[in-house]
Amino acid sequence: MQKRKGLIYRITMGKDNLPDFTPDKLPGTRFALFKDVFLRRLGVMFRLNILVLLFALPLAAVIIHYALTGVMDNQMLPHSGNLGVGWPVVPDLAIMSSILLYSRQIMLFALTVPAIIILFIGFSGGFYVMRRIVWGEGQTVFMNFFRGIKKNYLPFLIGGFVIGVLFFALMMNLAAHSAGLMPSALSVIGVIATVILVTIALLMLVFYTTQAVTYKQKFLNLVKNSFFLAMGLVPQTIIMIIFSSLPIVLMFLLSNLGMFFIMIMMIVMMVGFSYIISIWTVYAHWAFDRFINGKIEGYEKNRGMRPDAGEKKEKQEKAKTEKVQKKIEDITSIDEGANITPLGASFSRADLLKLQDEKEAVKKEIDEADGEEDSESTGDSGRIALGEQIVLEEGEIVEATASTQNKPKSKSNYKFITKKKK
């Protein structure tokens, strides 16, 4: 009887009767890859989330400070104006309170810019670790996290600065619009413009962050490729952003439900950032395999997935392409056979005689082709009236004669039939 293994051995080594791992056991679809990355590696996701969460603490402090000062401002500032109580009477007291509130908001929102930059530096390590996990490489989270920061901090620092400035501009426009400190038309235009810019930047961010840790390229190429991918995959990217932000949205929607809010907040704090990074990484690498990796010589596609992943779809597309190509080859081109040489700016009588001979040759080919299909045609559907015009693919007009009477229309020799325009 085999001796029973100890608890520590079973935890670290697993069951002895499990089959050996082979590449065929890797996930075959992107959804299966996401489940394998996120759900089957919760310990790794938790450790990665804690490291990113450390870089999010400054932003969390700014948000908490903003919430507390907002409560204090609502209680202390005289938003209702002077009601005749107190001395001396201050005119336009409500407007002064709005200006004071707006100045405080400027200070608080300005603090979000460096806080977002610090968060993005943490993202540089988080996306690097997630890329290695998706590709099936080493999972030493702590070491690879700081290695990713060392390698990729610069593009993330620039990206964090741009996102921080756009967020600051958006919040300032919203605050100025709500306080009525700017003309209504100008404030509305400012809000709409910043919303559009923030939306485009968010769509680009999905590919910007994942490209920065995957490819070695210049900064302008990184921005350009991110823009092209974002604009080419707008619906899919919006769906992925909504799907990745569900826990945060639920946390705010259930903020008044006490227990549910605490539960969701705890889940977000444990795996929230890892959840977002994993969805963006898996989705972005699908786009890279589709649009980029196939054009790079020697670059491996579908990394971290089964060797045959995507082959079925590629075979279907190849078969479809070959089928269309065969149909094209089966169609007789109008360029085959006799041709008509166009006349130049100056021509001689010999050129006119040559043109007449070429026209006769084209007529002869049409008559021969129509004669071959005459036995397969019935009725008067192919009747061509005398004097009607036959317009060839080359643009040459040939008048129908008695020899073409009662002949079927041959698609292989002319495109359509029409009457001569006056």
Q: Write the secondary structure of the chain as one string of H (helix), E (strand) and C (coil).
A: CCCCCCHHHHHHHCCCCCCCCCHHHCCCCHHHHHHHHHHCCHHHHHHHHHHHHHHHHHHHHHHHHHHHHHHHHHHHCCCCCCCCCCCCCCCCHHHHHHHHHHHHHHHHHHHHHHHHHHHHHHHHHHHHHHHHHHCCCCCCHHHHHHHHHHHHHHHHHHHHHHHHHHHHHHHHHHHHHHHCCCCHHHHHHHHHHHHHHHHHHHHHHHHHHHHHCCCCCCHHHHHHHHHHHHHHCHHHHHHHHHHHCHHHHHHHHCCCCCHHHHHHHHHHHHHHHHHHHHHHHHHHHHHHHHHCHHHCCCCCCCCCCCCCCCHHHHHHHHHHHHHHHHHHHHCCCCCCCCCCCCCCCCCCHHHHHHHHHHHHHHHHHHHHHHHHHHHHCCCCCCCCCCCCEEECCCCCEEECCHHHCCCCCCCCCCCEEECCCC
Q: How confident is the model at residue 120 (pLDDT cuts 50, 70, 90)?
A: very high
With 60 as the cut, is the pLDDT of residue 200 above it? yes
Highest mean pLDDT among 6-15, 351-360, 395-404: 351-360
With 70 as the cut, is the pLDDT of residue 178 above it? yes
pLDDT for position 4: 64
pTM value is 0.65
pLDDT for position 256: 73
pLDDT tens-digit readout, 259-309: 777 888 888 888 889 999 999 999 999 999 888 887 777 777 777 776 666
CB 389 within 8 A of CB 345: no
**For the packed helices 184-212 and 259-291, what is the interaxial angle rounded to 10 degrees?**
70
Instruction: Calculate the average pLDDT of the chain.
Output: 75
Share of the chain above pLDDT 70, in %: 61
pLDDT tens-digit readout, 368-421: 766 665 555 544 444 444 444 444 444 444 444 444 444 444 444 433 333 444
Least confident of 5-9, 120-124, 214-218, 364-368: 5-9
Please, how many CA atoms are within 13 Å of residue 49, restricted to the half-sphere of its CB?
A: 19
pLDDT tens-digit readout, 61-111: 988 887 777 656 655 555 554 555 545 555 555 566 666 677 777 888 889
Record the tokens describing residue 70, joined without a space.
């907002």
pLDDT for position 249: 82
pLDDT for position 394: 43
pLDDT tens-digit readout, 131-150: 998 888 866 889 999 999 99
Share of the chain above pLDDT 90, in %: 29
